[in-house]
Amino acid sequence: QTPERAKAYACDLTYGTANEFGFDFLRDRLLLRKIKEGQNDLIGAMLNQGVGRGGGDKPVQRDPFFALVDEADSILIDEARTPLIISAIPGEAEKIQVATYCWCAEHAGDFIEDEDYEWDEDKKSVELTRKGRSKVRNIEKPPILDSVGMFDLYTFSERAIKVQREFHLERQYVVRDGEIVIVDEFTGRLSEGRKWRDGIHQAIEAKEGLEVTVATGQAARITIQDFFLRFENVAGMTGTAAASRKELKKIYQCNFVPIPTNRPPRRIQLPTEVYGNSDAKYRAIVNEIADLNSVGRPVLIGTRSIDKSLILARLLDEKNIEYQILNAYHVEEEAEIVAKAGQLGKVTVSTNMAGRGTDIRLGEGVEELGGLHVICTEMHESARIDRQLIGRCGRQGDPGSYRQYLSLDDELLLTGFGPKRAKRLKNKGEETEKRFDSTERLFVKAQKKVEKKHFRQRKALMYFEKQRKKMQREMGQDPYLDSTN
């Protein structure tokens, strides 16, 4: 804890990110435990010198009273389940654990779905079949794994298979300076310092051939939702709160107050286009970009992940269309890219980084052409994220337009309807190159199903955390420091 942080928290107003506030709370909690256990002679120093006059580490945060949250729906709802964890010091079994992760990653591709393992789409979980367990037993192992129990090998193997299926480079994460860095699915930005739980992060490191950071225990833990529920008063602002007003009221006791736009909106919605597969969809998108670019109108194309932004970039290269790209690899140039995005003839391919909170100003002569045109290449799991991207055009009374493109192999259909129905739709799409515009309602239905599922998960999380804290307090434990690993 630095003096600068203590000084910042001593002010009437303290600005910061939710993650930093949460981690400071956990560090304070750990420090208070040290004081209580007498591991550091801080109490005497605090009594003799007074708070704020040096003399050893002291907690920096004050009691939580009022939190004002920018982009409130993103932090209070989308990020609600995100755990903030301070890890404990690893034990002596480090080398064996690392070897187990590496061995399982090496052989994860040997296992066949429905033969060696079963996949549960709703729970996103892998379970080895009898044949799969037999395969684990029979694959040759290095001597270092002799002390690892067979049940642990099954668990590590299931985790490695899940990682190979569900976690992809340039989608959920990137590799930077030899480390796995999570890409936030809602903002498209890198989440420095965050790690996946339950050995997933280590399994990904092994998959990518990186140094495996040992899965340690938890010294302290809190979720974003639980952190903000500690405040006596919570308020916030966002352009997409209407769809979440019931949840904000139910969980955070926040009332919803709509504020009209400064100027009447001039945003035009163009008809949605649905294609049988993503190849046909991307070709149609590139054709529309080419048409608009030929008259000099700026275009912003939003994608769900880094790898999909790179697919579009390659297609634009083939058409000799100049573009700029904004994703987690181009954070340093973000301000410059956004500043140019509304200029005459500019084409910008972006992940969600260009969505929430980004103000794109129109260049000279662009208003006469119809303003910025936004292309949505896929629907997200939350309609609010789609609306954030759409909201980049037609701002402050400027003209603008947008169009949604969809295809029957989009990820949303799998998440919303499950593998069987999604596969039928995908097969239907592969039979023809024609458009399926009448199926747009399917995507809306799938999106609503996913939103309801996530809402149930957040409600369950709140109930579970409440019961867990109550039980641990009754046992004389600290619910933030003594949580189960």
- Number of other CB atoms surrounding residue 107 within 10 Å: 17
Distance CA 289, CA 402 (A): 12
Q: Is 271 helix (H, G, I), strand (E, B) or coil?
A: coil
Per-10-residue mean pLDDT for the chain, 485 residues long?
A: 85 93 92 73 47 60 94 90 76 79 95 94 91 95 91 95 94 91 86 84 95 75 92 92 89 92 89 93 96 96 92 95 91 86 94 78 93 95 91 90 95 92 88 76 94 89 86 86 66
Nearest to 297 by CA among 404, 396, 401: 401
Nearest to 281 by CA among 386, 405, 371: 405
Nearest to 199 by CA among 68, 114, 279, 101: 101
Distance CA 251, CA 75 (A): 13
Can you count the helices (H) and strands (E) in the chain? Answer: 17, 16
How far is CA 81 from its chain centroid? 10
User: What local confidence, expressed as pLDDT, does residue 47 receive?
Assistant: 47
User: What local confidence, expressed as pLDDT, does residue 193 receive?
Assistant: 76
Distance CA 16, CA 25 (A): 13
Q: Check for a shared fold between 3-87+225-247 and 94-216.
A: no
Q: Is 263 helix (H, G, I), strand (E, B) or coil?
A: coil
CATH of 94-216, one of 3.30.70.3270, 3.90.1440.10, 3.40.50.1110, 3.30.460.20: 3.90.1440.10
Distance CA 188, CA 358 (A): 13
Parse the chain into domains and list their residue ranges: 3-87+225-247, 94-216, 266-435
Q: Are 258 and 242 in contact (CB under 8 A)?
A: yes
Tokens 């052409």 correspond to 369
Q: What are phi and psi of 240, to 5 degrees?
A: -135, 50
Distance CA 481, CA 340 (A): 47
Nearest to 377 by CA among 453, 286, 467: 286
What distance, in Å, lies between the first and last C-alpha atoms of the chain? 25
Distance CA 364, CA 362 (A): 7
Nearest to 258 by CA among 272, 270, 240, 275: 240
- CATH architecture designation of domain 266-435: 3-Layer(aba) Sandwich (3.40)
Nearest to 151 by CA among 100, 116, 113, 197: 100
Considering just the CA atoms, what is the radius of gyration of the chain in Å?
25
CATH of 3-87+225-247, one of 3.30.70.1060, 3.40.50.300, 3.40.50.1970, 3.40.50.720: 3.40.50.300
Q: Are 408 and 274 in contact (CB under 8 A)?
A: yes
Distance CA 99, CA 106 (A): 11
DSSP 415-427: HHH-HHHHHHHHH
| Planar angle of CA 172, 178, 181, nearest 5 degrees | 25
Q: Are 380 and 184 in contact (CB under 8 A)?
A: no
Nearest to 203 by CA among 241, 243, 155: 155
Tokens 């035009």 correspond to 268
